[in-house]
Structure 1
């Protein structure tokens, strides 16, 4: 069933949503559990309902405050601060990408950052591949937030609490984001030396390309509410603080803050309908995917398939390395997420790893965190649409972007993995592991 599901979505014969529902139903019927499929699916859906609820209102909340212009002053200040110094420009690119990535939408982040910085890169003569790299690294680490796609998928796949998956990762995120800033400083310094020496780009990726026309990327300014900037900022900071302190369940926090933001920024009913309609597609895609995943995992668990696969995996996993499944999962997430879509990886592979690791005292939350470590590499996957969007806007070749960014993506994945191990977010070893003695 898992192989069929992965094959169908990777060959694009079915959408992930349709495959998550249809494939387990077919195999459940083959397994002879037809009468119980409905209850299994409903149980799985009920388990993911809080996650779907939180994602729905998180996407809407950040879309509303972004439409209102929450990040506009930051964009202006960053652009004013960087001037034409390559070092400042590189660091400013990373900082802006990190902050804007709070909304959990990589496409929106790409549009805002590229719209703001591509004219600066072209004016100064900097390599646009640096912009692409810093954008991808910053966004991939920030996407660990609960409303980011990878975290939601990982938690849903192993039926773990999303907040418990995310919060222990905060120190590792801080370390890896600091590392990205160091990389940005290094990029800027290298470009500053190259420009001072008058050296051309090693690979002239902008040769023959006209300056990108970014006017079509500008968002609708009629939705801006600059006079409400401070209220939106205070509300967003209160939301983040409430999440960190666990003042209320995450879905409740998101629902409450969304209601306040929508009413505050767009008090007229017509305006509210317009804003909701603008972002309805993103919300529907995310929520339907989570519910479909719930049905998939419900059948996978209810029929006993997960237990059977875990037992089969246990039979071939040497007992000596079984307790090390968490760091192993973190390392293999890099190549696996590069050649697989997030849906195929999180719903097809991660549950099997989690079930197997449970036999060695490794919790589902720990495996969910480990499965996120390869996300910086995943951003370069040829299976992803955003990489083509970014490269198209920058007028660079996808292969050039992958070659330039891959080593930095691998390094970022290794740094966040090491930080997660050192801070205990990922255990080095589960129960029953002992160092060999003489």
Structure 2
């Protein structure tokens, strides 16, 4: 089953088997109520960033990166990291991969840069940006632990910044290595550089030309920067911020009612699928908590866990997340395993938010998991085998995991011991 029917049908079945049939509906609604704000935030965030892409907010960035790259492999890899980080703000890995393949892969091939580098830089850049509250992993953690997404994200900002800086450093190092291997010479200021016309850029984003609003680029940029600033300073609850941002984006960019409906319909599928998944997860965790299943599993772990290990469950969860993110699907790990770890850690004074943050630190390894459909899409687009990509990229993904864990400990967002 896909995530939604599994998250609804399985807890229903086992709640009845456990003898809680009459109370199952109440337990599910309690769980749904706790994640409702997260679902609303995700729906409006996905719609907002979708409309920004439709309006052409990121298109000038593509054109400038392509022109800046010239014939320098180091600029190509750093430019690719910049593009993947910016487009990855919308939390959609498929969009990020398609935009990168359409715009930067031709540059890689023209310069002779190894496409494995393309796969590594694109994946790791997106993974870091996907730690945002509207990204898939953080949304799953917030739903499964019934915590505020901003309480996960805001303390993680310095960790994410450290990770992103590490990705850019890796991109620069790989580009320098390729420059040396290929014997490429940095294009001088007067050398001709590749340019993209408006039609080709629109094709890269698979955009509807009638939806582009190039004259409103500065308004859209100011609106997005203001929205991100308010998210960081917690000016208001995240659902309210994205609701207001979406309303402003729609009214200004598409004042005609038909255009507004068209834009909402274009992104309704992505928004609805994520929102429904989070609400179903709330029902799942509501039954797990209401029937006492999570408490029972936590007590079972406490019985076998050496007491000396308990205070270190934050670090242990971070290390486990490296393996779990590779061997399990996101739904299985974040909905099935993390709540039990959080309940166990609670006995040692480690908060659910801290366990949630720790569980996100193994995400770089998730980009190589054979259980992720996007990995196969990426391999197909690049013409490479998954096994070859795993053998090439595992050391870089693992290194980034340890960098994120070290930063989390350094900045105190995950406790070393409690």
**Cα offset for 1:216?**
8.0
Partner of 2:258: 270
Partner of 2:31: 44
Tell me the secondary structure at the aligned position of residue 307 of structure 2.
coil
Cα deviation, 1:52-77, whole Å, max 9, x if unaligned, reads: 00000000000001110000111111
Tell me the secondary structure at the aligned position of residue 10 of structure 2.
helix
Cα distance change of structure 1 residues 38 and 264 upon mapping to structure 2, 3 Å threshold: same
Match of 2:81 among 78, 90, 94: 94
Partner of 1:129: 116
Cα deviation, 1:31-56, whole Å, max 9, x if unaligned, reads: 11111101000000000000000000
- Quick one: distance in 2 between partners of 1:283 and 1:215? 23
Partner of 1:345: 333
User: In the alignment, does 2:138 pair up with 1:182?
Assistant: no
Match of 1:299 among 273, 278, 287: 287
Within 5 Å, which residues of 2 pair with 1:358-437? 358-430=346-418
Partner of 1:238: 226
Cα deviation, 1:121-147, whole Å, max 9, x if unaligned, reads: 111111111111001001111111000
**Cα offset for 1:217?**
6.5
**Cα offset for 1:221?**
2.4
Cα deviation, 1:166-200, whole Å, max 9, x if unaligned, reads: 10000011111111111101110111111129xxx
Within 5 Å, which residues of 2 pair with 1:151-230? 151-196=138-183, 218-230=206-218
**Cα offset for 1:215?**
6.0
Cα deviation, 1:101-154, whole Å, max 9, x if unaligned, reads: 111111111111221101101111111111110010011111110000000101
Contact 1:176/1:412 (8 A) holds in 2: yes
- Quick one: distance in 1 between partners of 2:364 and 2:208? 31
Match of 2:125 among 138, 141, 152: 138
- Quick one: distance in 2 between partners of 1:191 and 1:49? 48
Cα distance change of structure 1 residues 318 and 139 upon mapping to structure 2, 3 Å threshold: same
- Quick one: distance in 1 between partners of 2:102 and 2:129? 20
Contact 2:128/2:163 (8 A) holds in 1: yes
- Quick one: distance in 2 between partners of 1:284 and 1:49? 13
- Quick one: distance in 1 between partners of 2:6 and 2:391? 33
Tell me the secondary structure at the aligned position of residue 308 of structure 2.
coil
Cα distance change of structure 1 residues 58 and 94 upon mapping to structure 2, 3 Å threshold: same
Contact 1:158/1:351 (8 A) holds in 2: yes
- Quick one: distance in 2 between partners of 1:294 and 1:88? 45
Partner of 1:314: 302
**Cα offset for 1:222?**
2.3
- Quick one: distance in 2 between partners of 1:416 and 1:100? 22
Contact 1:144/1:150 (8 A) holds in 2: yes
Contact 1:115/1:218 (8 A) holds in 2: no
Match of 1:57 among 39, 44, 61: 44
Tell me the secondary structure at the aligned position of residue 386 of structure 1.
helix
Tell me the secondary structure at the aligned position of residue 361 of structure 1.
coil
**TM-score in terms of structure 1 length:** 0.90
- Quick one: distance in 2 between partners of 1:244 and 1:371? 21
- Quick one: distance in 2 between partners of 1:391 and 1:306? 38
Contact 1:91/1:181 (8 A) holds in 2: yes
| Structure 2 unaligned residues grouped into runs of 5+ | 185-201
Partner of 1:103: 90
**Cα offset for 1:267?**
1.2
Partner of 2:17: 30
Partner of 1:5: none
**TM-score in terms of structure 2 length:** 0.94
- Quick one: distance in 1 between partners of 2:162 and 2:204? 36
Number of residue-to-residue matches in the alignment = 402
- Quick one: distance in 1 between partners of 2:204 and 2:41? 31
Tell me the secondary structure at the aligned position of residue 332 of structure 2.
helix
Which range moved further: 249-258 or 155-164? 155-164
User: In the alignment, does 2:107 pair up with 1:120?
Assistant: yes
- Quick one: distance in 2 between partners of 1:162 and 1:287? 14
Contact 2:38/2:139 (8 A) holds in 1: yes
